[in-house]
Structure formats: C-alpha cells, structure tokens
C-alpha cells in the first residue's frame, strides 16, 4: 500500500484562483524531514573533509564486514569499496546513518577523527585571518565563549580531575 502526503498550493492568475495538489510518497517526505533534522543538528558532518569521511568508514569497517556495513547503511558493497579507496566519499546522509548505527567505542573514534579534521581546518582559517589582519574581537570573544562552555561541562571537569 502506498501512503501519500498532499501539499496544497493556491495561486492567483489574472483574478482566477488555482488550486494545486502535489502528492508525495510518505516515505520520501519522512526521509526529507529526517535529513533536514540531521542537517540542523549535526552540521559538523557537512564540514568533514573527504579524508575524514574515508577514515570514518574505516572505523565502521574495523568491527564488521564490508557487506554488513553496506546493509547497515543502505548502500551497495561497491559504494563501501569506493569510500574505502577514496574514489568517492560518503554523503552527509550516509554519515548520519553511520552516526545512528555506530557503537559507543566507534562513536568515540569517529569523534576524534571529526574533531581533529575540523580543528586542522579551523586552525588554518585562523592562521589565514591572522596573516591578513582579519581576526576581529568578536571572533576571539566567540572562541572564548566556546572554551568556557566546554570547560563548564561537568563531564569535562571530571576528566580534568582524573588527568591531574
């Protein structure tokens, strides 16, 4: 059974009102909504380099076969092979599925890979801004607030106590 969702649009053309109904399969609408929610909550994934995306796939392959991973992510084994070789890279949507299905240990490694990749890019941006004297006070203030937010997290405080 095909379930559809209808969207109504009303247009006026030379004084005549026209009603348009557009029908979409419900599974496509839900997929779009999930992708939209993913993009709003996990924006960092979009910023990952191709190499980081390849390394995330490697993390997932360390605990399962190529075929198991392809089934888990809803892609072909050939796609996984291409991700692994660097011939192509997983989309944001595929990375979202990886984050949903990864174990805690895999998530910790993916977090390290992601942070290191984004840090290098951010560090490069700051160096570029410094060289051109583009670094303004509001940027430094945002950085300070971010550090304060991280340092105020109770889990971070516990980790700092253990490290000392």
List pLDDT tens digits, range 5-34. 445 455 555 666 655 555 555 555 555 544
Does the predicted model carry a pTM greater than 0.75?
no
How many helices and strands (H and E) does the chain possess? Answer: 8, 2
Q: Average pLDDT in the 101-117 region?
A: 93
Give the dihedral of Cα atoms 5, 98, 107, 87; nearest 10 deg: -140
The percent of residues above 90 in pLDDT, for the chain, comes to 54
Q: What is the DSSP string of 90-144?
A: --HHHHHHHHHH--HHHHHHHHHHHHHHHHHHHHHHHHHHHHTT---HHHHHHHH
What's the distance, CA 111 to chain centroid? Answer: 11
pLDDT, one tens digit per residue, over 51-99 is 999 999 999 999 999 999 999 999 999 999 999 999 999 999 999 999 9
Sort residue 20 into left (φ over 0), alpha (ψ -120 to 50) or beta. Answer: beta
- Alpha-carbon span 141 to 139, nearest angstrom: 5
């Amino acid at each position: 059974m095909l379930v559809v969702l209808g969207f109504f649009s009303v247009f006026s053309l030379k004084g005549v009102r026209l009603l348009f109904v557009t029908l979409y399969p419900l599974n496509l609408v839900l997929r779009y909504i999930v992708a939209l929610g993913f993009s709003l909550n996990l924006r960092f994934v979009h910023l990952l380099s191709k190499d980081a995306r390849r390394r995330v796939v490697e993390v997932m392959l360390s605990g399962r076969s190529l075929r198991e991973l392809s089934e888990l992510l809803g892609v072909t084994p050939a796609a996984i092979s291409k991700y692994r070789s660097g011939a192509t890279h997983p989309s944001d949507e595929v990375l979202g599925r990886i984050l949903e299905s990864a174990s805690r240990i895999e998530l910790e490694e993916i977090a390290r890979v992601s942070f290191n990749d984004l840090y290098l890019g951010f560090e490069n941006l700051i160096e570029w801004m410094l060289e051109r004297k583009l670094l303004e006070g509001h940027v430094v203030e945002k950085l300070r607030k971010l550090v304060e937010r991280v340092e105020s997290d109770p889990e971070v405080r516990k980790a700092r106590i253990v490290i000392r």
